[in-house]
Amino acid sequence: MSITREELISMYTKMLTIRRFEERAVREWASGAIPGLIHSYIGQEAVAVGVCAHLGVDDRIVSNHRGHGHCIAKGADLKRMMAEIYGKKTGYCKGKGGSMHIADFSIGMLGANGIVCAGLPIAVGAALAAQLESKDRVTVVFFGDGASNEGAFHESLNLASIWKLPIIFACENNLYGANTLIWDVVRLSSVAERARAYAIPGRVVDGNDVVEVYEAAQEAVVAARSGEGPHFLEFRTYRWRHHFEGGYFPDLRPKDEVEAWKERCPIKRFEQKLLTNGVLDRAGQEAINLQVMSRVEDAVGFAIESPFPDPEDALKGVYSE
């Protein structure tokens, strides 16, 4: 592995942070403490972490409805995230957005989005901004397999291609759009094949192997930074939980399929690799876990203790000054 020990440990820590954060959010939701919906990222941690490992604070990401993992991987503050999910005044969006609309412009996280595929054109604009300013920053847009059947997907790939933009299309193919199997609605053997229609290099990557994600993303980010234009990466992965917590329709995915994917847990696989290679030992692993648990606990505590927004704040902030 050409990745430094620090990077490996950092990626492991981030993946574990996402997992623990999401486990806790699911639990808090089930207890009734979190209003509305949450879309859990559990099972897909390697994608956000392996990709964002190459991004600096100046680089941009655009996220979708399943965005908690992307936020954490880009460096968002767990406390302000959890507070937002709780609908508290101290949250990233002052309680106006919630789980589906977390954004942190100060770290280049341009927002999660409740509309499938809506982030792609926005990311194209962010990438065009970098090109116009002659900056070497890149924009990564995360989206699911389902987004690839939207018109805006094709418009965005085409715009990025004709303008040769520094953008990476990161498709998290978790096989289902809610309960719709992607291969029932795409007659190709991969989503990445669609990139070819727009002269964009595309490839399929094991999204549950963070090292493979890291290497594929590195190639794409380096190319985009050096002016070679857009790249398309399709990460094969799986979400462990239903489309959302509190689903008003049942999870229809085969139980044995869900269990088989849990066997391919991206964190367990990475952990095993790190232990085998001596990058990490059991004591070190336990220390990281404790530290992560404590940060998540602090985030929940912060969210619970924070005040709700003043009701009349609802009327403020529709327009910028």
Partner 1 sequence: MREITYQQAVLEALREEFRRDEKTLYFGTNINYELRQEFGEARVRGTPISESGFVGAAVGLAGSGFRPVVDIGMATFGFVAMDQMVNQAAKITYMFGGQAKFPIVIRMTVGTGQFMAAQHSISPYPIYMNTPGLKIILPSTPRDVKGLLKTAIRDNNPVIYFEHRLLGDITGEVPEEEYTIPLGLAEVKRKGADVTVVALARMVHVALDAAAEMAKEDISLEVIDPRTLVPLDRAAIRASVAKTGRLVVVDEACATCGAAAEIISLVVEDEETYALLKSHPKRVCGPDIPIPFSPPLEQYVAPDREKLILALREVIKKSPQ
Binding site for partner 1 (CB under 8 A): 60, 62, 91-97, 101, 103-106, 110-111, 113-115, 118, 120-130, 132, 151-152, 155-156, 158-159, 162, 317-321
Nearer to partner 1, 248 or 319 (CB): 319
Residue from 84, 18, 127 nearest 119 by CA: 127
Residue from 234, 242, 141 nearest 190 by CA: 234
Nearer to partner 1, 49 or 140 (CB): 140
CB of 255 to partner 1, least distance (A): 35
CB of 19 to partner 1, least distance (A): 26
Greatest extent of the chain over all pairs of C-alpha atoms, in Å: 56
Nearer to partner 1, 91 or 207 (CB): 91
Q: Name residues whose C-beta falls within 8 Å of residue 247's C-beta, 6 or more positions apart in sequence.
A: none
CB of 272 to partner 1, least distance (A): 39
CB of 162 to partner 1, least distance (A): 7
Q: What whole-number distance in Å separates Cα of residue 144 and Cα of residue 177? A: 8
CB of 126 to partner 1, least distance (A): 4
Q: Indicate if the alpha-carbon torsion angle 76, 78, 84, 89 is positive or negative.
A: negative
Nearer to partner 1, 72 or 160 (CB): 160
Residues 259-282 as b or e (16 or more Cβ within 10 Å = b): eebeeebbbebbbebbeeeebbee
Nearer to partner 1, 99 or 190 (CB): 99
CB of 300 to partner 1, least distance (A): 20
Nearer to partner 1, 3 or 129 (CB): 129
Nearer to partner 1, 48 or 103 (CB): 103
Q: What whole-number distance in Å separates Cα of residue 278 and Cα of residue 275? A: 5
Nearer to partner 1, 151 or 250 (CB): 151
Q: What whole-number distance in Å separates Cα of residue 292 and Cα of residue 169? A: 30
CB 115 within 8 A of CB 99: no
* Measured CA distances, 187 to 207, 292, 306 (Å): 21, 42, 49
Q: In three state form, how does the secondary structure of 69-91 look?
A: HHHHHHCCCHHHHHHHHCCCCCC
CB of 299 to partner 1, least distance (A): 18
Q: What whole-number distance in Å separates Cα of residue 290 and Cα of residue 305? A: 22
CB of 129 to partner 1, least distance (A): 3
CB 16 within 8 A of CB 289: yes
CB of 185 to partner 1, least distance (A): 20
Nearer to partner 1, 46 or 123 (CB): 123
* Measured CA distances, 1 to 110, 118, 178, 212, 277 (Å): 32, 36, 36, 10, 10
